[in-house]
């Protein structure tokens, strides 16, 4: 079987030498007591992976050189060790990593029950960490009231597109920021945002200013866009620092110029990490699952085929090559 390991730590952008593929005998993977052998079907590609391969203190330890690259995925139990709570054929999710097969402890291979009207792959998107991140960031930090104006950056991505839709559901006016005209059209026509701004347009700053002041900002990108939004805050505005993808490849992250408006507008800016909300996942999954089933919450996937495509596809997140959730299809379900 194949697995992909971290080969070297990049300085800036991910490079062709950052990862390397290894082929190992499948016979070596034997589940022990309370363990399962999982065949990986799908893997999620996430901007956070750039952080995992950086040797700095963060919310998870860095992936070491020679270790399988960390990644969340879906898979099927193909062998269950003695005393395992799982049976062969069970659909599971877990941090399997960039590999075709993995041996996991039962508690790290979470059984997935797919509700009616939902597809298993939704568990890597709206019902996985992307959707849940949008859900809890909006609920706890943006704290929308009907009539509020909210801005979402990285809006055509996986987290952003859910944040936009949940913002509309909460009765807010939603302004989206994304990197192409096509993405902006999709956001308005398919997801129902009120306005979408292409940050690569020469008139972006002027257009955004004309849209007025805002009450909440769900920030996925950081950098210059965050700094610009800081100049457009209403009194008591809330900013959820979800991510800062514009800075993840930077050797020196950019500072903010306009943060004094946080004082004058009595605004709040707060970071959060989805891993702190695990006990609340089941209720949120149930709520968003119902919304998927009734067609009111939509997800989009950008699918690449084959494990070996993972290192080639990952940089797409940093160039905007994806619309919606970027996933790798590793094997048939
Ligand atoms: P996306 O699907 O949104 O993909 C990333 C997108 O970011 C790209 O498609 C691109 O779209 C945009 N982008 C890339 N570079 C830049 C740039 N320099 N300036 C502006 N936009 C840029 O990824 P996710 O939905 O998985 O993640 C979105 C954010 O959420 C990330 O910052 C991630 O780290 C964060 N996150 C945080 C979590 C938490 O617990 N706090 C959990 C999960 C994710 P475009 O064409 O618009 O440029």
Look at residue 289 in the predicted model and tell me its pLDDT: 98
Residue listed under structure tokens 């408006």: 261
Look at residue 206 in the predicted model and tell me its pLDDT: 98
Q: Is 48 in the pocket of ligand 1 (CB under 6 A)?
A: yes
pLDDT (tens digit per residue) in 34-83 = 999 999 999 999 999 999 999 999 999 999 999 999 999 999 999 999 99
Q: Which fold has domain 2-125+299-329?
A: Quinone Oxidoreductase; Chain A, domain 1 (3.90.180)
**For a pLDDT cut of 70, what percent of the chain falls above it?**
100
Q: Is 44 in the pocket of ligand 1 (CB under 6 A)?
A: no
- Among 218, 220, 246, which residue has the most ligand 1 atoms within 8 Å of its CB, making it the best to mutate? 220
Atom 35, ligand 1: which residue's CA is nearest? 243
Query: What is each CA distance from 79 to 27, 88, 331, in whole angstroms?
Result: 12, 6, 16
Contact 99, 3 (CB under 8 A): yes
Q: What is 53-109 written as a DSSP string? A: TS-S--SSPPPPTTSBPP--EEEEEEEE-TT-S--TT-EEEE---SBSEEEEEGGGS
Separation of alpha carbons 184 and 93, rounded Å = 32
pLDDT (tens digit per residue) in 184-238 = 999 999 999 999 999 999 999 999 999 999 999 999 999 999 999 999 999 999 9
Q: Residue 179: count other Cβ atoms within 10 Å of its Cβ.
A: 21
Q: Which fold has domain 129-275?
A: Rossmann fold (3.40.50)
Q: Write down the domain spans for the chain.
A: 2-125+299-329, 129-275
The answer to pTM > 0.90 is: yes
Q: Can 2-125+299-329 and 129-275 be said to share one CATH topology? A: no
Q: Is 274 in the pocket of ligand 1 (CB under 6 A)?
A: yes
pLDDT mean over 139-150? 98
Atom 40, ligand 1: which residue's CA is nearest? 273
Query: What is each CA distance from 92 to 7, 18, 135, 155, 284, in whole angstroms?
Result: 28, 29, 22, 29, 19
Look at residue 333 in the predicted model and tell me its pLDDT: 78
- Among 51, 317, 319, 327, which residue has the most ligand 1 atoms within 8 Å of its CB, making it the best to mutate? 317
Atom 19, ligand 1: which residue's CA is nearest? 246
Does the pLDDT value for residue 88 go beyond 90?
Answer: yes
Separation of alpha carbons 67 and 19, rounded Å = 10
């Amino acid at each position: 079987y194949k697995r992909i390991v971290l080969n070297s730590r990049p300085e800036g952008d991910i490079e062709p030498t950052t990862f390397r593929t290894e082929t190992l005998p499948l016979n070596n993977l034997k589940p022990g007591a309370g363990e399962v052998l999982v065949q990986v079907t799908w893997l999620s590609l996430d901007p956070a992976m750039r952080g995992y391969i950086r040797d700095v203190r963060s919310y998870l330890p860095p992936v070491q050189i020679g270790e399988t690259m960390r990644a969340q995925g879906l898979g099927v139990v193909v062998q269950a060790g003695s005393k395992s709570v799982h049976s062969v054929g069970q659909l599971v999710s877990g941090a399997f990593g960039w590999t075709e097969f993995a041996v996991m402890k039962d508690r790290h291979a979470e059984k997935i029950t797919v509700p009616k009207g939902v597809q298993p792959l939704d568990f890597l998107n709206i019902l996985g960490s992307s959707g849940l991140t949008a859900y809890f960031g909006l609920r706890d930090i943006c704290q929308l009231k009907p009539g509020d104006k909210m801005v979402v950056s990285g809006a055509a991505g996986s987290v952003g597109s859910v944040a936009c839709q949940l913002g509309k559901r909460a009765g807010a006016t939603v302004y989206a920021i994304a990197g192409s005209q096509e993405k902006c059209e999709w956001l308005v026509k398919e997801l129902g945002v009120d306005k979408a701004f292409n940050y690569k347009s020469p008139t972006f700053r002027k257009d955004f200013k004309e849209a007025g002041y805002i009450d909440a900002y769900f920030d996925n990108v950081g950098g210059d866009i965050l700094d610009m939004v800081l100049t457009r805050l209403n009194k008591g505005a809330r900013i959820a620092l979800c991510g800062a993808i514009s800075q993840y490849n930077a050797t020196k992250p950019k500072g903010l110029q306009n943060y004094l408006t946080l004082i004058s507008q009595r605004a709040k800016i707060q970071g959060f990490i989805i891993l702190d909300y695990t006990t609340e996942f089941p209720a949120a999954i149930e709520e968003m699952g119902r919304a998927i089933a009734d067609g009111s919450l939509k997800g989009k996937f950008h699918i690449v085929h084959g494990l070996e495509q993972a290192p080639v596809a990952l940089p797409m997140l940093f160039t905007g090559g994806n619309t919606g959730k970027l996933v790798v299809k590793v094997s048939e379900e």
